[in-house]
């Protein structure tokens, strides 16, 4: 009888602990999108007037490897904070892809050679 109570207790405990730690795909995707929104807001916080004040970085992770895209950012923002968010996002997207077994077309986005300013907006040059 003692063993049965212990088994029931452990079963109930595991059900509750799984419920707290379990997440669904929509929640995980929402967290990714929220982080990307922060990154995009930081990147677009400055008007592009002088190309030399802009740079770019790979963003995201395709399921079969490599970046999903590139994003331009002003060197006048909190660059270390921005780069940290980009790194967090890229790692989180890689984990998401692995966790949910996401597929990809495995194409590689072309890396820009520079950022140029066009009508106040950063534009990639290839």
Tens digit of pLDDT for each residue in 77-110?
999 999 999 999 999 999 999 999 999 999 999 9
By C-alpha distance, which of 38, 124, 48, 125 is closest to 87? Answer: 38
Backbone angles phi, psi at 98, to 5 degrees: -70, -45
| Averaged pLDDT of the chain | 88
Q: Which residue has the higher pLDDT, 74 or 10?
A: 74
Residues 109 and 65: beta-carbon distance below 8 Å: no
Supply the pTM of this predicted model: 0.80
Residue 48: DSSP 8-state? -
Region at 32 (left for phi over 0; alpha for psi -120 to 50; beta for the rest) = alpha
User: Which tens digits make up the pLDDT trace of 57-86?
Assistant: 999 999 999 999 999 999 999 999 999 999
Q: Is the pLDDT of residue 55 over 80?
A: yes
- Tell me the domain boundaries of the chain: 48-126
């Amino acid at each position: 009888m003692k063993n049965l109570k212990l088994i029931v207790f452990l079963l109930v405990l595991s059900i509750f602990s799984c419920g707290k730690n379990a997440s669904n795909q929509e929640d995980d995707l929402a967290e990714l999108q929220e982080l990307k929104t922060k990154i995009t807001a930081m990147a677009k916080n400055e008007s592009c007037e002088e190309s030399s004040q802009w740079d770019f970085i790979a963003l995201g992770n395709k399921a079969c490897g490599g970046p999903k895209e590139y994003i331009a950012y002003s060197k006048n923002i909190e660059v270390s904070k921005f780069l940290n968010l980009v790194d967090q996002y890229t790692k989180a997207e890689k984990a998401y892809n692995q966790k949910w077994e996401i597929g990809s077309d495995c194409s590689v986005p072309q890396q820009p050679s520079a950022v140029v300013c066009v009508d106040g907006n950063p534009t990639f040059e290839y």
